[in-house]
Amino acid sequence: MFKTHKWFLTIIILMLSVFVYTPTCYGNSAEPPSILIIVSNAPDDLEISIKSGNEYIKANKTDKVIETYYTFYSHEIRTASNYTLKVSTENSSFDVLLDQPTKLYNNIFTFDLKNKTLAPGKLFSRSAFLVSLRTTLTLLIEAMVFWLFGFREKKSWIVFLIINLITQGALNVWLNGSTPLESYVILTLLFGEILVFFIETMALLTLITEHNRIRTFSYVILANLLSLFAGGYIITILPV
């Protein structure tokens, strides 16, 4: 039994390492090189512009539940003399300095409207909240399926929670590496769910003995299908 568990742990570590060490390939995404600015709870009249030549170019604005994204594409700002942003609402207007991007693709910044500050990348607090939320929603769905399949033993639920926290947590951390407007995030989710399916199949068939293997395998299939569809829906309405 110890050798079996040791073999299983080796496999799961190797498969999870794919999530950790496989970067999201932005170069193949449909969006051109860009500067993307995340603004939480942005007022409807908030506009962000950048001076390019003798005129100001307004950012492309995309609303998504609790966030708004302001995007400048490289072809729009190639003549920009600097990266000073003009932030304006109906009642106020001010400038914010944006350090010149160094990446070819997907330069992400977070703008704090209250403090009028701009920070590179996504905020850790934002990522932690979204990863936790998506993981929790997925766990609730899979837990309901687990219950409906008749799993009641304490050991079965402990295994279920540990394995799903590892797999779904790793998957959602990996998804967090995508840009908020990346068009191929659904494919990233699909590839991740396939890995999760194999990991959970090996784990649950090895560690759960409450019911026969056919019932356990059937649960894994249904739970992961529902997780895939739910995850696909969640990332269309929630920020990534």
Q: Which residues contact 183 (CB under 8 A, 6 or more apart)?
A: 29, 30, 31
> What count of Cα atoms within 13 Å lies in the side-chain half-sphere of residue 58?
8
Q: b/e map of 120-145 (b: 16 or more CB within 10 Å)?
A: eebeeebbeebbeebbebbbebbbeb
**Distance from C-alpha of 109 to C-alpha of 36, rounded to nearest angstrom:** 6
Predicted TM-score of the model (pTM): 0.80
Q: Domains in the chain and their CATH numbers?
A: 2-28+124-237 (no CATH), 34-120 (2.60.40)
Where are any strands of DSSP class E within 117-177? 117-120
| Residue type present at position 13 | I
pLDDT by position in tens, the chain (length 240): 444 455 455 555 555 555 554 444 434 444 456 889 999 989 989 999 987 767 788 999 998 888 999 998 877 776 665 678 899 988 889 888 877 665 656 789 999 998 989 988 899 999 999 999 999 999 999 999 999 999 999 999 999 999 999 999 999 988 888 888 877 788 888 888 988 999 999 899 999 999 999 999 999 999 999 999 998 888 888 888
Q: Which of 66, 65, 20, 28 is nearest to 172 (CA)?
A: 20
For 151, residues 6+ apart whose C-beta sits below 8 A from its C-beta are 157, 160, 208, 210, 211, 219
How far are the Cα atoms of 70, 75, 111 from residue 46, in angstroms, in the given order? 10, 23, 12
